[in-house]
Structure 1
Amino acid sequence: MLCALIMAGGKGTRFWPLSTEEKPKQFLNLIGEETMIQMTVNRIKPIIPVERIFISTGEMYVDLVKEQLPEIPERNIIVEPQGRNTAPCIALSAFVINRYYNDATMVVLPSDHLIGDENEFRKVVTSADEFVNKNYESIITLGMKPTRAETGYGYIRYSNNETKVNDHKVIKVDAFVEKPNKEKAEMYLNEGNYLWNGGMFLWSINNVLDQIKKYSPNTYNALEEVETTSEEKLQETINKNYKDTEAISIDYAVLEKSKDIYVIPSSFGWDDVGSWEALDRYRDKDEAGNVLVGDTKTVEGENNLVISSSQSVVVEGLSDIYVIEHDGKILIGKKSNVANIKELKEII
């Protein structure tokens, strides 16, 4: 039985000022009419019913989850008392899901990624599920075939030890590699046995709990009570014990130590939409190459990024700039410097 865990606790600081701590990017409609978290849930619903879709988030975002995803059962909203990275989040969620679906398989998905070919994405997840069902101790990660020498992503180096499930290769992982500099990223692209790490995993819940118990025992011991406590005292138990977990990523806590990790090379148009440049890549453009969002327009200008959430914005006679308005704040600069917007927060 396949369940989904969608991690939605991030603060989305890279998209400031549009994304704020009060309403981070997973709750914004950055790409289309749906918010990022709505897109994530709707993408997986054809193969996993809503009663088996769980959302992990912070207390301050629970109302946003309920507002944007009213079909998700309230018990399926897993509330982290504080952000302590992905290993405690996944451990907590595994214990909670195990209360309702014992020994299920779990696919872990970020809430704020873009998938172009959603049908192919679901086929990959289905193949990964089949592999894990036949190989209980295995961990599957989805690796994206790189299309450029990207320095903003971690990479997965894979071996030549491969098998096939349906139409998909399942290959043994050699190593997880940190975000490279430009020279190394170009080397990875040329060598051909590196994939982008999209932070999506699939495993048996009991297996990942065994792995956490082995490699991150403090986290396991702190949360073990979650699986057996009464429903009435569940959140109280979480609040009491969560602070005693080890604040560490699942990559460092488990994946870099586990011996049975595989990757499925995937080509379904993935992007983590982690930058303004990504937004510029995927938003529809007018005939002059302008991205216009909200009550905005350009006159005799091209290749601009103009986004407004509450004000009317008109750009006349200018090209290659960004204009971003949110809640009365207006940021204007060279489009080539759009990645530096976050640094302006200190000035404002």
Structure 2
Amino acid sequence: MLCALIMAGGKGTRFWPLSTEEKPKQFLNLIGDQTMIQMTVNRIKPIIPIERIFVCTGEQYVDLVKEQLPELPDRNIIVEPEGRNTAPCITLSAMIIRRYYPKVNMVVLPSDHLIKDEDKFRNTLIAADSFIKENDQAIVTLGINPTRPEVGYGYIKYGNKILKSNDFNVIKVDSFVEKPNLENAKRYLKKGNYLWNGGMFIWSINNVINQIKMYSTDIYDALIEVMDINEEMLQETINKNYQNTESISIDYAVLEKSKDIYVIPSCFEWDDVGSWESLDRYRDKDESGNILVGKSKVIKANNNLIISSNNSVIVEGLSDIYVIENDGKILVGHKSNVANIKELKNII
């Protein structure tokens, strides 16, 4: 049996002003008609029923989760009192999921990724789940075959030990590598045994809790009450103890220390939608290369990014610019500088 944890507590600052602290990018429809979190849930529903899908988010986003995922049971919304990075988030969620499903495998997914070939993605998850059923002390991560020398992602270096699961290669991880500079990214691409780290993991629920107990004792000790406390006291206990956890990523807390980690090289099209440039890669464009979202129109204009959330925006006779209208703000600039848009936040 497979459960899913979707992490949805991020504030999405890289997409300001479209993404705000009140409504971050996982709750926006950046790529298509669905929001990012809706896409994430609908992507896995064919293999994981909604009652086994859990969302961990901040208290300020609970209403947004309920609004956008009305089928999700209330008990499946795990509320973090504050953001403490991914290790406390995953530990808390694993302990809560174990209350209802004590012997399941769990897949951990970010809420704001784009995956194009969904059938291939689901088949990869099924293969990982099958591998964990046969190797319950192992951790499987999905590594993305790199298509360019990307400096914005971490990498997974894999070794020579290759196993099989459902016709998928499952390869022993050699090491996790931090985001490289451009020279190293080109070298990784050329060497061929490096994959992008997509931040997606599959493990047994009991194994992840044991791994935290072994390698991040402070987090385990702070949250251990969560597994056995009665339902009426659960959120109060979380609120009291969560502040005592170390703020650390699951990569540093567990993955870089664990001895039994494997990767499945995954060839589905993937992007973490972490930059404005990613919209340029994946959003539909008109015949003149313009991306138009909301009440946006262009006249004799080319290669522009125009996003309007509330008011009409019309661009005439201009090329290679961005116009972002949201939350009472209008930002206009050269499209080549869109990656630096968040630097304008302190000016407005």
TM-score (norm 1): 0.99
- The percentage of counterpart residues that share the same residue type is 74
Q: Which residue of 2 aligns with 1:215?
A: 215
Q: Which residue of 1 aligns with 2:77?
A: 77
CA contact (8 A) 1:85 1:247 kept: yes
- The 2-side partners of 1:222 and 1:208 are apart by 16
Corresponding residue SS for 1:109 = strand
Corresponding residue SS for 1:51 = helix
CA contact (8 A) 1:99 1:227 kept: yes
The offset of 1:116, in angstroms, is 0.2
Name the Cα RMSD after superposition. Answer: 0.6
Q: Which amino acid aligns with 1:113?
A: H
The answer to whether the aligner puts 1:238 opposite 2:211 as a matched pair is no
The offset of 1:327, in angstroms, is 2.0
Deviations 1:231-284 (A, max 9, x none): 111001101111111110000000000000000000111100000000111110
Q: Which residue of 2 aligns with 1:311?
A: 311
CA contact (8 A) 1:81 1:242 kept: yes
Q: Which residue of 1 aligns with 2:34?
A: 34
Deviations 1:151-174 (A, max 9, x none): 100000001111111121100000
Q: Which residue of 2 aligns with 1:45?
A: 45
CA contact (8 A) 1:157 1:195 kept: yes
- The 2-side partners of 1:329 and 1:238 are apart by 37
The offset of 1:343, in angstroms, is 0.4
The answer to whether the aligner puts 1:285 opposite 2:285 as a matched pair is yes
- The 2-side partners of 1:344 and 1:87 are apart by 32
The answer to whether the aligner puts 1:95 opposite 2:92 as a matched pair is no
- The 2-side partners of 1:227 and 1:68 are apart by 28
- The 1-side partners of 2:285 and 2:244 are apart by 48
Q: Which residue of 2 aligns with 1:334?
A: 334
Deviations 1:159-218 (A, max 9, x none): 111111112110000000000111111111111100000000000010011110010001
Q: Which residue of 2 aligns with 1:68?
A: 68
CA contact (8 A) 1:311 1:328 kept: no
Q: Which residue of 2 aligns with 1:186?
A: 186
- The 1-side partners of 2:212 and 2:137 are apart by 13
How is 1:104-119 mapped onto 2 (pairs within 5 angstroms)?
Answer: 104-119=104-119
The offset of 1:106, in angstroms, is 0.2
Q: Which residue of 2 aligns with 1:56?
A: 56
- The 1-side partners of 2:175 and 2:342 are apart by 31
Q: Which residue of 1 aligns with 2:18?
A: 18
Deviations 1:17-66 (A, max 9, x none): 00000000000011111100000000000000011000000000000001
- The 2-side partners of 1:302 and 1:230 are apart by 60
Corresponding residue SS for 1:346 = coil
- The 2-side partners of 1:27 and 1:49 are apart by 21
Q: Which residue of 1 aligns with 2:274?
A: 274
Deviations 1:66-104 (A, max 9, x none): 110010100010000000000000000000000000021
Hey, which bits of structure 1, 4+ residues long, moved more than 3 A?
A: none
- The 1-side partners of 2:168 and 2:297 are apart by 45
Q: Which residue of 1 aligns with 2:9?
A: 9
- The 1-side partners of 2:197 and 2:280 are apart by 22
Q: Which residue of 2 aligns with 1:128?
A: 128
Which piece of structure 1 moves more, 159-168 or 201-210? Answer: 159-168
The offset of 1:299, in angstroms, is 1.2
Q: Which residue of 2 aligns with 1:262?
A: 262
